[in-house]
Chains A and B, each alone.
Chain A
Amino acid sequence: SQTIHQWPATLVQPVGSPLSLECTVEGTSNPNLYWYRQAAGRGLQLLFYSVGIGQISSEVPQNLSASRPQDRQFILSSKKLLLSDSGFYLCAWHSGNNNEQFFGPGTRLTVL
């Protein structure tokens, strides 16, 4: 069965510090991968999605970037965090063969 991992689970970072969040998927090949942010009391905001290695689509202009160095690995990064980057970051995958999307456990980021 397919499993999606995210780490770290919780992160507290100072403003201006760098960020690296990692997501890996097991049990599937060539998944579509997604990064979402969920602010408190708000819906899911799509940040990036990827249909293959090295292919990244950005949905929202911001100080975040994403990379997909391997088929089942998706990384979210920032060179300098802002207070507004605080939120719950969710990675998700979609097989492309059906319409179901599955989420990871999330990373709660607090920028102070």
Chain B
Amino acid sequence: QKEVEQDPGPLSVPEGAIVSLNCTYSNSAFQYFMWYRQYSRKGPELLMYTYSSGNKEDGRFTAQVDKSSKYISLFIRDSQPSDSATYLCAIPTGNQFYFGTGTSLTVIP
């Protein structure tokens, strides 16, 4: 079983929609969870970073962790064409990082 699993999509939504991106993980000891956004032909950029359970909000983005289900989510409200990118979840452990395979999102104007 992989440490982190992510639905690759692709996901296509109209502008203004609420987007839900999800990952599951295998190890209940994981405590830190991150989301990266990667535009085409660019390096991933850190979008949000959460610790343990609960929600963290940053503008139109909300990261949610459900440790009982080992499930992490990223919600995007009022999605914009500029949100079109690949989103990767990531979990750090020591000096290594486990990454999901990424979900490709297209927001259609």
Contacts and interface: CB of A to CB of B under 8 A. Distances in A.
A100 B32 CA distance: 9
26 contacts: A32-B95, A34-B97, A41-B8, A43-B88, A43-B99, A43-B100, A44-B88, A46-B96, A90-B43, A90-B44, A94-B92, A94-B95, A99-B34, A100-B34, A100-B46, A101-B34, A101-B90, A103-B36, A103-B43, A103-B44, A104-B43, A105-B42, A105-B43, A106-B41, A106-B43, A108-B41
Q: Which 3 A-B pairs have the closest CB atoms?
A: A43-B101, A103-B43, A99-B92
Given A103-B36, A105-B43, 6 more contacts: A42-B101, A43-B102, A94-B92, A94-B95, A99-B32, A106-B42
Interface residues of B, number: 21
Contacts of A46: 96-97
B66 interface: no
Contacts of A100: 34, 46, 49
B45 interface: yes
Interface in A73-112: 88, 90, 94, 96, 99-106, 108
Interface of B: 8, 32, 34, 36, 41-46, 49, 88, 90, 92, 95-97, 99-102
